Structure 1
Amino acid sequence: MNTPSAFYKQVLKLWHAPDLALIGQRRERRMRLLASLVLVLLGTIWGCFFMLRGAWGIVLSDVVLILCGLGVFVLTRRNQVRRANLLLFGVMIVVVVGMTLLLDPHTAAAPRATHLYLLPLAVAALMAFRDEPLWLRYGVSLLCFALFTGLAASAWSPVSGYGLPDEVRVVGSWVQGGAAMLLLFMLLHILQSDAAERSVLDRDLLAALRDEQFVLHYQPQLNSAGRVIGAEVLIRWQHPQRGLVPPIEFIGHAEKTGLIIPIGKWVLEQACTQLRIWKDDPLYRDIGLAVNISQNQFRQAAFVPDMLDLIAVHGIEAHRLELELTETLIVQDMEDLVRKMVALADHGVRFSLDDFGTGFSSLSHLKRLPLNTLKIDRSFISDVLTDASSETIVRTVIGLGQSMGMTVIAEGVETEAQQRFLASNGCVQFQGYLFSKPLPLQEFAAFVARQHG
């Protein structure tokens, strides 16, 4: 097993986004909601203005602006982030360019100023599309910069007669310029703040690695007789100031940056070490451990030999180690996935499909994979007694697993009524707060002793 110092050197590890990922998402969500309301407000104001002037063509465009604002609002509420961002930035770019050309023509008395909003839009696009492909993230920003350059260097306007009076635009130029620069400053400040937070978190994580602040918790998996037959291994960060930090606050960022690879390797190594310790203890030697495997981790070319080396070095029985895969993973590179799974399954490693029913896997995928276990997602279990669709899905998954010779385990079981329903439909393995929350190692050992006593 790697020493703490070796593991520390091996990793430049995840930048735990304690709240940063979640705070960033909430911040962007609020910004989109605010922007949608601004679109509705601007569309209403300009629509009324041009309605009084009888410019019905522009009134129609303002109606479109209002509808787009409502669309962004609805998409944001539904968490359809990409569509909301594309609609928002598409409309904002068209609005800024249109207003610059039609309402803000360059004159000797009043230079253009509306096009200045393209600068904060370019910076905002870098933030909004940060998790999108590079062509989209940088394409929107570069488009804004290109349009800004063209409008700043030209006095061309497609039509005349819609421009505001110069005496209004002289004051407006100062207001527009000040507002655009204020927006740009605010966005740059947010970017700088994010970078500073990441720097602090990087240092915290490196300290966590050096000082062994990461710990594993174990959530028991029980059979119908109430005996512990396994446990799911879950990582936690025991932060010296913030206390116990759950994985939801850092695993997502680790996935995006690739830092999940050394984290996952550490978790696997700790799990194998624990299985070796239990191997000679009659109370625990039949208990298996399930470890979640990320997409980035499984795609590593050396994943199979590294796994086999871990099993050999620790001298454990491979069938006591179960690797949990998600549905997202199995629709990526099917051929590579099958090849690696078969190679490990041939040595006894078990596989489970986590959160089954929430992704895009199909029967054609399932029949090709050497899966041992299907895990019913907790979202279906939570309302299985009150929602007919969830009930049907749960019954179907149980029947499907049994027909394909797989074990079916239900996650998130919280009530005895849920357990009775599952048991009556043929599910005989359970995991959830009805039995136990994820426990530190010593508490898990005590739980096993009580259940088997």
Structure 2
Amino acid sequence: MIHHRRERRMRVLASFVMWVLGGIWAVFFSLQGHWLIVAIDLVLMGTGVAVFTLSWLHFDRSARLLLFGVLLLVIVGISLVLDVPNAFIPRSTHLYLLPLGVAAMMAFRDEPTWLRYSVIAVCLLSFVGLAASYWTPLPGFSLPDTTRSPGTWVNTGAAMLCLFAMLHVLQTDAVQRSAWEGELLEALSAQQFQLHYQPQLDSHGKVIGAEGLLRWYHPQRGMIPPGKFIPHAEETGLIIPIGKWVLETACAQLRCWKDDPALAHLCLAVNISQKQFNQGSFETEVFSLIKRYDIEPGRLQLEITETMVVKDMEELSRKMTNLVSLGITFALDDFGTGYSSLSHLKRLPLNKLKIDQSFVFDVLTDHNSEAIVRTVIGLGNNMGLTVIAEGVENAAQHQFLLDNGCEQFQGYFFSKPLPLVSFTEFTLGCNA
């Protein structure tokens, strides 16, 4: 999140600089009659406005592609046509390709690998080609040496300044990532993680299970919310060992509940990350945990997201089928917020659909949310799937869901996620 905010601020700043400097240079070169440069400056000004608008509307990928595409074309074009080197004055405009390539490492960090490294490669190859060549497609259009000579010093200094700024940002990102990685590793080894349990209730108000939710109690900073550290765990790959800890803790807890007649009926749901699920050893690890803790497989429920469904449907279906054959159940979490289709639902061995809390939140005030909730409940019932609504916060929402055939509920109206002792007391009280 910090990285994305920093990258967006730099993109907005770049668009502002393009607009301001483009206007200044357009006026300067129009007075000298260099209309080709004026046209280029107008393009930069228009691009600055467009990038700012796209960033404001959160079309981040489009803003990045437009910004880098136009800058790359402008730098290469000026280098080939207006900044042609000779025996006395070298070319200097192409130096801007170096900070542009470094900036691409930051701007496209979370984009597909092929896109990120394609932009970087184009910048660096263009730099090498221009540095080693005197060729120009339009002889005679180069700026006079009286203009290019001071421009060489300006371009060299500005390009190096931009390069150092980009390297500083990359170094800051790397330091922050390293710090998070170290703290997460320490949290694992020092057992700073805990599972809290949010009760899941049936239509009669009885607790039938819980969702295990990860909490991090840092010795200095206190409780760190999952939304702050989970993205770093995903980025560093530590989500895999953390996910293993969550899964093993859940199985150990199911074993404890199995020995208590008042709690033996409970199911426990845990979220599975895509990276964890994609591990070749995932199925074997789950089988081993169930055998080691001697638990009923049907009491363990694995929650997957719609993002996982659209990534690799064949491999996902194969692994899910193998685990379901053992008795494990699957829930599709945050249903309705992703891009899965009905054909995906038909092909996957799911047991439960979870209505995303964003729809439940305004189900009484927004007709679209109301229609989506009704549709999901009807779809689940017709497909033989259990439907659970998460994020239920008041009695009116609960009653609406009951009236429309929802079978299970989870949310602050019933209980927030609780430590184990409090969850046990809550369950015994509801089921008495």
One fold, TM greater than 0.5? Answer: yes
Is the Cα contact below 8 Å between 2:357 and 2:392 reproduced in 1? Answer: yes
* 1:184 positional shift: 1.0
CA contact (8 A) 1:216 1:234 kept: yes
Aligned residue in 1 for 2:154: 175
Distance 1:280 1:180 in 2: 69
- Larger deviation, residues 148-157 vs 121-130: 148-157
Counterpart position of 1:362:
341
| Residue equivalent to 1:323 | 302
- Give how far 1:109 is off: 6.3
Alpha-carbon shift at residue 39 of structure 1 (Å): 2.5
Are 1:92 and 2:57 an aligned pair? no
Residues 184 and 233, structure 2, Cα contact 8 Å, conserved in 1: no
Aligned residue number for residue 402 of structure 1: 381
Going from structure 1 to structure 2, the CA distance change for 1:300 and 1:146 (only over 3 Å counts) comes to closer
CA contact (8 A) 2:25 2:38 kept: yes
Q: Give the drift of 1:110.
A: 4.9
Give the drift of 1:166: 4.3
Quote the offset at 1:451 in angstroms: 2.5
Aligned to 2:412: 433
Provide, for residues 326-378 of structure 1, a one-character-per-residue CA deviation record: whole Å limited to 9, x for no partner. Answer: 11112233233222222222222111101111112222121222211100111
Query: Within the alignment, does 1:352 sit opposite 2:325 as a pair?
Result: no
SS at match of 1:235: strand
Tell me the residue number matched to 2:118: 139
Greater Cα offset, 314-323 or 110-119: 110-119
| Larger RCO, structures 1/2 (Cα 8 Å, 6+ apart) | 1
C-alpha distance in 2, partners of 1:135/1:406? 39
Aligned counterpart, 2:56 = 77
Q: Deviations over 1:389-411 (max 9, x none)?
A: 11111110010001111111111
Identical positions, percent = 61
Contact 1:377 1:411 in 2 (8 A): yes
The answer as to 2:267 corresponding to 1:265 is: no
Q: 18, 21, 30: which one pairs with 1:39?
A: 18
Show the counterpart of 2:163: 184
Asked whether the 8 Å contact 1:109–1:170 carries over to 2, the reply is no
Superposition pairs for residues 87-236 of structure 1, below 5 Å?
87-106=66-85, 110-159=89-138, 166-236=145-215
How far 1:169 sits from its partner (Å)? Answer: 4.1
TM-superposed CA distance for 1:235, in Å, is: 1.2
Q: Give secondary structure in 1 for the equivalent of 2:347.
A: coil
1:243-281 C-alpha deviation (Å, 9 max, x unpaired): 112222232343344432222111111001101111122
Partners of 2:152 and 2:42 in 1: how far apart?
Answer: 25
Contact 2:272 2:304 in 1 (8 A): yes
In the superposition, the TM-score normalised over structure 1's length comes to 0.88
Structure 1 position 187, deviation (Å): 1.5
Separation in structure 2 between the aligned mates of residue 98 and residue 428 of structure 1, nearest angstrom: 64
> Which deviates more, 166-175 or 238-247?
166-175
SS of residue in 1 equivalent to 2:233: helix
Which amino acid in the other structure matches residue 221 of structure 1? Q
Q: Deviations over 1:417-446 (max 9, x none)?
A: 222222221113211222222222222223
Matching residue's letter, 1:209 = L
How far apart in 1 are the matches of 2:2 and 2:224?
15
Counterparts of 2:320 and 2:179 in 1: how far apart (Å)?
39
In the alignment, the residues of structure 2 paired with residue 302 and residue 281 of structure 1 have an alpha-carbon distance, to the nearest angstrom, of: 32
Secondary structure class of the residue paired with 1:212: coil
User: What is the aligned partner in structure 1 of residue 259 from structure 2?
Assistant: 280
- How far is the alpha carbon of 1:160 from its aligned partner? 6.3
Q: CA RMSD in A?
A: 2.4
The alpha carbon displacement at 1:322 in A equals: 0.7
Match of 2:424 in 1: 445
